[in-house]
């Protein structure tokens, strides 16, 4: 008999519960390729009968395959069991950024199948219409019903539900209704998120092993300013109006450099791609200067590797400022890890000692216990990867498109006993 299912939000519909159980089993199979039915029962706490019921449904929908051990493995290692059929569905990720916006089509494992770019234009309407047409073309390379949705990375302060850019000085958009315009032209579910949050999501999704080992961590994005994505108890911290975790605007110096937020002395004025380029010029470095900030800052990392002392000094100065901000981040959040994105991730071996020694000098040792400082494992397109993951995450761990936001583990799960 199905058990009564209550959540903090009320009673779940039976269809939603069925979908939640399907997604939990599917996600368990995704994370543990080759898993058996009895192992799924152990991991999920479902009864063996419930697991059999759900797995049969997933097999019928062709989302998983059931490989017989004897059909494979001549190496002696059993290769049978249940596996996700990663090609069964696809998702699209879009990163709206300057100078080019990039689109990827990925399979259920997040592997990139196809890619397009659209040159960014500050004039939103024409740009968004071209973007919508390109999304449609990319989705058209699959059966339309196989595309689960479109995840879109937006810079700056955004309303993620409406897909509205409240303020993104870096690309010159203020009050742009990107979501409304795209939704009028596209029939797939659209999901919006801030770029730094998506970089953090990508780190979590692609982290090895169980995937959810990272539950309390901060991602520091140093492209187009300093953005931060914060995970608390495995979820993105959004704040009351999805404008939270803006560590780039914590104030280091009340009389410091003017920030485009209107304040002075914000962290991002001292630790970002642009701040690195500025530090390079101030230390006497020359050359370049016309490229986009990311390319310019990556060039400085390469120069430092080739022994350019101005470039090395600029990197270590910027790393020192990065550490100043970490002092506040650590005090505020007690994270298990701080992950640092590009361009600093590529220069990690050149700067790690500066950051470590600043933190040891400024933070009580008991606040540093267990804290890991990690360079990002993903290249500079982490927000793009995260945009596609946003769709996949919704598919694997959410079960309702009406905004119910609980992970399946929060739900009582026995409906087939």
Footprint on this chain of Zn ion (rule: CB under 5 A): 249, 259, 261, 263, 266
Report residue 389 as tokens: 């993951």
- Three-state secondary-structure class, residue 280: helix
H-only helix segments in 273-378: 273-282, 293-305, 309-333, 348-362, 365-368
Residue 164 or 249: which CB sits closer to Zn ion?
A: 249
Minimum Å gap between C-beta 172 and Zn ion is 17
Minimum Å gap between C-beta 309 and Zn ion is 31
Closest CA to 153 of 332, 390, 341, 405: 390
Residue 107 or 195: which CB sits closer to Zn ion?
A: 195
What's the rounded Cα separation, in Å, for the pair 27 and 6? 22
Residue 266 or 315: which CB sits closer to Zn ion?
A: 266
Residue 225 or 229: which CB sits closer to Zn ion?
A: 225
Report residue 326 as tokens: 């970490």
Beta bridge partners of 218: 230, 338
Question: DSSP readout, 133-188?
Answer: HHHHHHHTTS-GGGEEEEEEEE-SEEETTTTEEEEEGGGTEEEEEHHHHHHHH--S
Cα 20–Cα 138–Cα 157 angle in degrees, nearest 5: 65
* Residue written as token pair 């700067």: 351
Minimum Å gap between C-beta 237 and Zn ion is 19
Closest CA to 264 of 249, 277, 278, 275: 249
Minimum Å gap between C-beta 108 and Zn ion is 39
Minimum Å gap between C-beta 225 and Zn ion is 9
Minimum Å gap between C-beta 279 and Zn ion is 18
**Radius of gyration of the chain measured on its C-alpha atoms:** 23
Report the phi/psi class of residue 175: left, alpha or beta, with left for phi > 0 and alpha for psi in -120 to 50. left
Minimum Å gap between C-beta 227 and Zn ion is 12
What's the rounded Cα separation, in Å, for the pair 383 and 101? 11
Residue 93 or 224: which CB sits closer to Zn ion?
A: 224
Q: State which H helix or E strand residue 340 sits in.
A: strand 337-340
Residue 261 or 363: which CB sits closer to Zn ion?
A: 261
Is the bond into 128 cis (omega within 30 degrees of 0)? no
Minimum Å gap between C-beta 223 and Zn ion is 16
Cα 121–Cα 126–Cα 132 angle in degrees, nearest 5: 100
Contact residues for 278 (Cβ-Cβ < 8 A; gap 6+): none
Residue 265 or 375: which CB sits closer to Zn ion?
A: 265
Q: How many residues does the chain have?
A: 417
Minimum Å gap between C-beta 259 and Zn ion is 3
**How many secondary structure helices (H) and strands (E) does the chain include?**
12, 17
Residue 191 or 321: which CB sits closer to Zn ion?
A: 321
Beta bridge partners of 235: 232
Residue 225 or 335: which CB sits closer to Zn ion?
A: 225
Minimum Å gap between C-beta 268 and Zn ion is 6
Minimum Å gap between C-beta 157 and Zn ion is 11
Q: What are phi and psi of 68, to 5 degrees?
A: -80, 135
Residue 10 or 262: which CB sits closer to Zn ion?
A: 262
Residue 252 or 266: which CB sits closer to Zn ion?
A: 266
């Amino acid at each position: 008999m199905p058990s009564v299912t209550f959540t903090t939000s009320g009673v779940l519909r039976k269809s939603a519960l069925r979908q939640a159980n399907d997604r939990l089993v599917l996600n368990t199979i995704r994370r543990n390729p080759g898993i058996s039915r009895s192992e799924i029962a152990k991991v999920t706490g479902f009864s063996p009968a419930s697991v059999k019921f759900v797995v049969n449904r997933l097999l019928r929908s062709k989302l998983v395959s059931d490989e017989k051990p004897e059909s494979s493995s001549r190496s002696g290692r059993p290769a049978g069991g249940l596996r996700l059929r990663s090609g069964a569905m696809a998702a699209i990720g879009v990163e709206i950024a300057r100078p080019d916006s990039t689109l990827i089509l990925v399979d259920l494992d997040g592997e990139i199948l196809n890619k397009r770019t659209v040159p960014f234009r500050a004039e939103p309407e024409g740009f968004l219409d071209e973007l919508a047409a390109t999304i449609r073309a990319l989705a058209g390379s699959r059966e339309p019903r196989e595309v689960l949705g479109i995840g879109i990375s937006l810079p700056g302060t955004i309303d993620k539900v409406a897909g509205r850019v409240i303020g993104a000085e870096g690309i010159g958009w203020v009050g742009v209704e990107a979501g409304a315009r795209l939704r009028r032209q596209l029939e797939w579910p659209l999901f919006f998120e801030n770029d730094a949050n998506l970089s953090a999501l990508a780190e979590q999704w692609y982290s090895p092993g169980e995937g959810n080992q990272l539950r309390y961590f901060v991602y520091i994005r140093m492209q187009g300013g300093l953005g931060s994505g914060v995970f608390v108890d495995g979820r993105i911290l959004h704040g009351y109006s999805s404008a939270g975790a803006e560590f780039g605007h914590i104030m280091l110096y009340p009389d410091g450099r003017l920030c485009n937020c209107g304040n002075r002395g914000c962290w991002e004025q001292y630790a970002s791609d642009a701040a690195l380029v500025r530090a390079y010029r101030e230390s006497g470095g020359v050359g370049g200067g016309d490229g986009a900030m990311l390319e310019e800052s990556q060039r400085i990392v390469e120069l430092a590797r080739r022994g350019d002392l101005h470039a090395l000094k600029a990197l270590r100065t910027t790393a020192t400022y990065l550490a100043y901000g970490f002092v506040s981040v650590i005090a505020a959040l007690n994270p298990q890890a701080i992950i640092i994105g590009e361009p600093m991730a590529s220069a990690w071996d050149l700067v790690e000692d500066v950051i470590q020694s600043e933190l040891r000098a400024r933070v009580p040792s008991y606040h540093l216990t267990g804290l890991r400082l990690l360079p990002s494992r993903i290249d500079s397109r982490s927000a793009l990867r995260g945009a596609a993951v946003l769709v996949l995450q919704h598919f694997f761990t959410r079960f309702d498109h009406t905004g119910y936001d609980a992970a399946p583990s929060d739900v009582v799960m026995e409906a087939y006993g």
